């Protein structure tokens, strides 16, 4: 395995080479990237509070328009922690046995998105590769353009967040339609079997600011043998409205698996207060409620999130600091409240 320093040298060399190659063809290349760094403090019930600093995301990507019909998209992040070495040993003492585990992690770069876009006719995009699954609206929002630090529970009640496959997208000012197929096993994996997931999504914008969306994922679970695969279907619906600086949205999802259902939902609102200051450009308070309700008794988890963001650029997402306070309730346990402070910087 490459050392961390060699890995970054290799990535940098590839980026420089890509820039030179695109420059020779005079392709339109748009680079972007962002860093999200935070401090998280957990308020424990017993008073033994805990806190930690985190580098949540460090990313870089590009969109290259090769010609009017062809484009490609590459996106990676550089703070993935992968298991490098693992060993275990069964120890027994005084008639009881336990497993001792030793896990060594390495920081590596990880591929997120890599796909090509073919545009044979106006308004139609055909996408092949690894991409964000076009399912829930929450899924399709960039991690650098979310209104809260953590995503809604609906993401946990959706098909694989990223997957390998193909889809077509036809978009007009009134509606947008997606139809495609994916492996169903997630990103950076092989899945050579006879079952593929079918993804369908539709968006409707009847008037300015109002948007409705619905999606379905029809497929199988990732059983080791095809004959053992079970049906696993997901459905989602979203409604949002934006007027001036006010935005409100709600989205729910339902999973049908092994004759049992799992539901998830979020609803939130935010308001952008413009500030005419050279340093501070806007203040955005927001509030969110969401829940996840798996099968079984006493499994429902609810969360109330209160947040405020301070923007230091005219573009909302390029430079910001925000605070989120999460109150989490679980029927079977008592999770801690969480306070998170985050800085985000993005270039594009």
- Domains annotated on the chain, with CATH: 4-347 (2.40.160.10)
Output Rg (C-alpha) for the chain, integer angstroms: 22
Long-range contacts at 221-228 (CB < 8 A, ≥ 24 apart): 221/257, 222/184, 222/185, 222/191, 226/193, 226/194, 226/195
pLDDT of 298: 80
Q: What pTM does this model have?
A: 0.84
178 vs 239: CA distance, rounded Å:
17
Confidence bin at 78 (pLDDT 50/70/90): confident
Percentage of the chain beyond pLDDT 70 is 84
pLDDT of 195: 86
- Residue range 132-187, pLDDT digits in tens: 999 999 999 999 999 999 999 999 999 999 999 999 999 999 999 999 999 988 88
pLDDT at 83 over 80: no
302 touches 294 (CB < 8 A): no
Per-residue pLDDT, averaged over 288-311, amounts to: 94
CA distances from 116 to 64, 74, 165, 178, 348 (A): 10, 9, 11, 16, 20
- Residue range 41-68, pLDDT digits in tens: 999 887 789 999 998 899 999 999 999 9
Weakest mean pLDDT among 5-14, 273-282, 291-300? 5-14
pLDDT of 253: 98
Around Cβ 11, how many Cβ atoms within 10 Å? 15
pLDDT at 20 over 70: no
274 vs 313: CA distance, rounded Å:
11
């Amino acid at each position: 395995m490459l050392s961390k320093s060699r890995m970054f040298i290799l990535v940098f060399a590839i980026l420089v080479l890509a820039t030179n190659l695109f420059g020779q063809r005079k392709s339109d290349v748009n680079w972007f990237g962002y860093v999200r760094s935070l401090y998280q403090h957990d308020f424990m019930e017993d008073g033994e509070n805990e806190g930690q600093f985190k580098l949540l995301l460090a990313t870089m990507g590009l969109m290259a328009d090769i010609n009017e019909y062809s484009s490609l998209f590459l996106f990676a992040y550089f703070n993935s922690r992968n298991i490098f070495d693992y060993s275990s040993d069964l120890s027994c003492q005084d008639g009881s046995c336990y497993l001792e585990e030793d896990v060594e992690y390495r920081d590596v770069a990880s591929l997120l998105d890599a796909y090509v876009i073919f545009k044979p006719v106006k308004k139609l995009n055909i996408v092949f590769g690894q991409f964000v699954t076009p399912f829930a609206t929450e899924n399709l929002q960039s991690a650098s353009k979310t209104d809260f630090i953590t995503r809604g529970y609906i993401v946990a009640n959706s098909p694989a967040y990223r997957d390998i496959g193909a889809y077509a997208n036809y978009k007009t000012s009134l509606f947008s339609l997606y139809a495609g197929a994916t492996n169903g096993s997630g990103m950076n994996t092989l899945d050579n079997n006879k079952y593929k997931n079918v993804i369908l999504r539709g968006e409707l914008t009847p008037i300015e600011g109002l948007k409705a969306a619905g999606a379905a994922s029809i497929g199988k679970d990732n059983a080791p043998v095809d004959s053992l695969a079970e049906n696993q279907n997901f459905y989602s619906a979203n409604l949002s409205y934006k007027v001036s600086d006010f935005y409100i949205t709600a989205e729910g999802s339902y999973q049908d698996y092994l004759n049992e259902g799992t539901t998830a939902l979020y609803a939130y609102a935010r308001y952008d207060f413009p500030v005419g200051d050279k340093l501070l450009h806007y203040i955005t308070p927001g509030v969110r409620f969401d829940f996840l309700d798996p099968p079984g008794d006493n499994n429902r988890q609810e969360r109330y999130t209160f947040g405020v963001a301070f923007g230091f650029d005219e573009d909302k997402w390029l430079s910001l600091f925000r605070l989120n306070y999460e109150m989490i309730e679980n029927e079977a346990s008592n999770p801690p409240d969480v306070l998170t402070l985050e800085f985000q910087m993005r270039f594009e």
